[in-house]
Amino acid sequence: MRAALIELGSTGFRLTIDDGRDIERRSQHLHLGSSVSTYGSFTERDISAATRLAAEFMAAAKMHNCQRIVAIATESFRLAANGEAVATHISREIGCPVRILSPQEEVSLTWRAVVNEFPNRPGVIMVDLSGGHLGLGSGPLGAKDPVHNFSYPLGTSVLAPRALADGYLETSTRTRLEHHIAETLKPAMASIGPTPAEQIVLTGGMARALAQLVHTTRRGEVPDGVNGLGVDCSDLGHLVKKFSEISLPARLALPGMKQRRSLHLPLAVAILRQTMRSLEAHEALVTTVGLREGLLARLMTQQRAA
């Protein structure tokens, strides 16, 4: 049975079609999180672009004869003053309800997908950096949901309008941002506590881009894949320094650098490094699974139950 998942994210919209054997994906960046951070609401231009793209994805899902189509929205729709109204408008236009995930549900779904990748670890602390939020989930391997579940509007697209100047993160701004992240995360750190036996896992497109850049720099060649690659605080520290010294064109020329992520990458480095510092973690692993896999797993489980 074919199923389709339409994700209305803070950085981009994604369509995933799964027939149980093969998966087809499409995506397009809209950076709605940056727009909401700047204006407080979705603009008419945002609404038009989002509706058009959601309709295109719905048409593609129907062309593939998907029997089950699910559409979800994340942080930018939670933050926007007109987020609920826009979700309702898109639902009406595409003929499919768009459900805005709660922060806790988003973290839980992502954590479940991530923890399944590490069956030999006693537990996992997941750090999920997206365009909209910074999510933290922690718990033992056998748990259905994370014991600790936190979500903060500290995603790259949301912070970019206030932190970046033409793609640059000034040192003074980075210092203030690191202090803000550290203060924001204090309640979560107090709740999670010292967990030396748990594996720290980073997920999200920016974490994958950073892992690829780190290992390309180390070895002089782009790795075949990033799943399971290690990243440590010193790696991120070197990138903080590098991004402060090179121009944007030079950044784009780095091996393995993808243009669509290059603008916000300095911000992602700062967020992830400070989060690892707050966790008192020197190193972490990167995984390619995340919210999408958690949603697809739930969707397939619901289909089997039906």
Looking at the fold, whether 128 and 237 belong to one and the same domain comes out as yes
80: containing domain: 3-101
Angle of helix 156-163 relative to helix 171-192, nearest 10 degrees, comes to 140
Among the three residues 61, 79, 101, which one is the final residue of a domain in this structure?
Answer: 101
Most confident region among 71-75, 260-264, 291-295 by mean pLDDT: 71-75
The domain that holds 223 is classified in CATH as 3.30.420.150
For residues 201 and 214, state if they share a domain: yes
* Region for residue 95 given its phi and psi (left: phi exceeds 0; alpha: psi -120 to 50; beta: otherwise): left
**Exposed/middle/buried for residue 44 (C-beta within 10 Å: 0-12, 13-18, 19+):** exposed
- Name the residue with higher pLDDT: 216 or 95: 95
pTM for this prediction: 0.93
pLDDT digits (tens, 9 = 90+) for 60-99: 999 999 989 999 999 999 999 999 999 999 999 999 999 9
Cα 141 to Cα 116: distance, rounded to the nearest angstrom: 8
One domain for residues 53 and 147 = no
Last residue of a domain, one of 47, 81, 101: 101
Q: What is the pLDDT of residue 231?
A: 93
Note whether residue 204 is domain-resident: yes
The last residue of a domain, from among 101, 123, 138: 101
pLDDT at 23: 78
In which band, very low, low, confident or very high, does the pLDDT at 302 lie, cut at 50, 70 and 90? low
Domains held by the chain: number: 2
| pLDDT of residue 297 exceeding 90 | no
Q: Are residues 261 and 148 in the same domain?
A: yes
Residue % of the chain over a pLDDT of 90:
72
65 and 153 in a common domain: no
Better-scored residue on pLDDT, 156 or 246: 156
CATH at residue 19: 3.30.420.40
- 299: pLDDT strictly greater than 80: no
Q: What is the mean pLDDT of residues 94-117?
A: 96
